[in-house]
Amino acid sequence: MNEKYTTILSMKKLFLPFLLLTFFFACKNDGPSPGGSAAGSSEAARYHVIPQPVSLLEMQGEFKVTGDTKILLDDADEGLKTAAAQLAAILIKATGTTVAPMEGEAAKDAFIFQLDPSIAHEEGYALIVTPYEVTIKAKTGAGAFYAVQTLRQLMPVEAETGTISSLSIPCVEITDQPRYTYRGMHLDVGRHFFSVDDVKRYIDLMALHKMNRFHWHLTEDQGWRLEIKKYPKLQTVAACRKETLVGHYNDTPQKYDGKQYCGFYTQDEAREIVKYAAERFITVIPEIEMPGHALAAIAAYPELGCTGKPAEVGTKWGVYDNVFCPNEATFKFLEDVLTEVMDIFPSKYIHIGGDECPKTMWEQSAFCQNLIKQNNLKDEHGLQSYFIQRMEKFLNTKGRSIIGWDEILEGGLAPNATVMSWRGTDGGIAAAKQNHDVIMTPTDFCYLDYYQSQDPNEPLAIGGYLPLDKVYSFNPDPADLTPEQLKHILGVQANLWTEYIPDFAKLTYMAYPRACAIAEIAWSPQASRNYDSFTGRLSYHLKRLKAMSVAAANKTYDVKTNVVVAEGKGISVALSPKMDGVEIRYSLDGNDISPSSALYEQPLKIEKDCIVRAQSFEGGKAVGTGAELRFRMHKAAGKTIRLTNLPAEKYSGSGPSSIINGVHGPTDRYGGTEWLGFEGKDFEAVIDLGSAIELNAVTARFFSGPGQWVYLPKSFEAAYSNDGKIFMSLGSIQSIAAGDSKVADVQFPLNQQKARYLKVIAKRYGVIPAGQQGEGHEAWLFVDEIVVD
């Protein structure tokens, strides 16, 4: 062993110049890679850490674990002991050898844990691996624990299964700390219940990725999942629904399984999970929904609602009008519930929901209307603010703080509330500007129950389209906040709503690897994040997850298509991914793909009706899911289009030309690259056909999904012009229906009219009526291909 190196390690503080000099002798230095491994380096293949460390210095050589390897602690700190115990568990699984942590001085052939107060960040760490020892320095036990997670990811995949003959760890020097203090994962157990073991596995995966906040969504319209001793009907009534919706909410007619569905956690089980999470430096934040999403509780205790009438636990998804009534009986109930909740959960924060609370019952309640007048409240939104503020005051007196979804901004924000911004980032920006703390979790980037690919065989999901690359592109720090306001952005959270996630296998399929991207957003510096680097590390990380029996969705090799319209100049299709050792084969005639099919090298020009099929191959074997596009080259395909109103950014497809690119979107879901979504706006487009031609008909496709606030237009109009300025009406269609389908194809005859310009207008539905999902909000309008014959 290098004597100079031993001397340096024994010092309380490491001096970098001397340390690097010593490493030259102990491990040949191939050069620094701040924030990750150098692309293309043979050494880079040894470092697959997610989330990416702040600084990683690659070294040659390995530390080999032997039968004599020890785990040594220089301090009796309990957090340090916890981190060391986690490493011991990893080593037992990997090698079958028990290594008991013990206090002792630094020695060779050892994992050495040291508390180092000079490390600036509470969760930061330094990890130094040489051929002789592994040293972990951290300010707290949490930092040491995260160093252990990095060590685990430096080990071979076989270490996860215990099938490795000898365990080696590559030499490296890492200094690391998180970007955000709040790095969260959410789990809805109200719609579907998950066992204690499932929740523990979920927490284990969080720990592996250095996530530190588990947001446990415990109550819903469809089920109350936590034992409350003072209110036993929450277990006997609210925890059970008589049946469950089968298929999608938008299916017509809706069908049910006819089977009772029950489940709740005892308080002892909840405490067990809190303890389990704490051992992994994860704080459990319970959510008790109020005033909305309360049907299950009202079914158990009808007096909590404004009518007092009997109710049933919800059997289908969505939002219900029957919400908590803001009377003294309700507040007493909730204070009792929260008192028991606080006894179980030591978290500083209690999440009180506050989202999607229909005001119908309050509008119809004489009591509520009188309460509004008595308290000089503006309206029912003000009444919700009154409700939230009252509950906040109660929790504040117990030393706790509230988190609420961004609807708690409406009617006035509670004084000390933290806002969870889910309807985009605007709520978070508004809260930060009011000097309130914020957790960013916008649907556009963080809702992992959305579809993650356009593969028609993807398992059923709620809707939307959120591929891995879009998740990774999210920056939680809004550009329009000042440095002082940015301090209120505590972090980021991924959300898993489980309407369409009935079991743990599908849960992990929907969560991973997109949760890996969220973890890297939450931990790694924005400036050093790089998607190519991430996917390079992810390809190996997915093998680790598979070895851990995690049913992650491996979309790495899936063929992605990008249909490009060069205005008035035609259509081409670009195929990806581009990866070393992987090639894409394709056909334009609809034939099956084989290793001898045409090799994709550049975008494919589309000039006539055709079926494009493509498949990735590695070593002559098909990998990933292939792609298929059916082109219908109608008269508007590839021409020029102008929209009066732009679609919402999160539903902008591939841009305005998505609806004249010759390809129809899926008929069972909106979103993706083909559908355009408009919120509170009409759809109006002018298509320039290039020259005056004879027109026979125009057909437009619209999506119908009232359960997700998506409505068909009230009317569809068409007009023509030869100068693009003066348009002559061709009439309108006033009655549009989808029948049993989720889409409506609306055809307008043009009667061989000759024209260069065609204008099409779809008038939006407007405000969603009372009693419907999203009542009071503007309905969404989704438009697919505009076909001109």
Q: Dump pLDDT digits (tens) for 463-507.
A: 999 999 999 999 999 999 999 999 999 999 999 999 999 999 999
- Which segments in the chain show pLDDT lower than 50? 1-44
DSSP states along 597-630: SEEP-SPEEE-SSEEEEEEEEETTEEEEEEEEEE
Is the separation of the CB atoms in 635 and 687 below 8 Å? no
Q: What is the 3-state secondary structure (H, E, C) of 123-159?
A: CCEEEEECCCEEEEEECCHHHHHHHHHHHHHHCCHHH
Preceding omega of 476 cis (within 30 degrees of 0): no
Total Cβ atoms within 10 A of residue 766: 13
Helix (H, G, I), strand (E, B) or coil at 411: coil
Q: Tell me how far CA of residue 548 lies from CA of 93, 94, 97, 479, 534, in angstroms.
A: 11, 12, 19, 39, 20
CA 73 to chain centre: 38
Token output for 341: 């909740």
Is the separation of the CB atoms in 280 and 210 below 8 Å? no
Predicted pLDDT at 45: 53
CA distance 114 to 126: 10
CA distance 393 to 125: 38
The CA-to-CA distance between both ends of the chain, in Å, stands at 81
Query: How open is the CA angle 518-120-6, to the nearest 5 degrees?
Result: 105
CA distance 663 to 686: 19
Predicted pLDDT at 99: 86
Predicted pLDDT at 569: 76
CA distance 459 to 452: 10
Q: Is 198 exposed, middle or buried (0-12, 13-18, 19+ CB in 10 A)?
A: middle
The phi and psi torsions of 647 (rounded to 5 degrees) equal: -70, 165
Predicted pLDDT at 8: 29
Predicted pLDDT at 6: 32
CA distance 667 to 251: 12
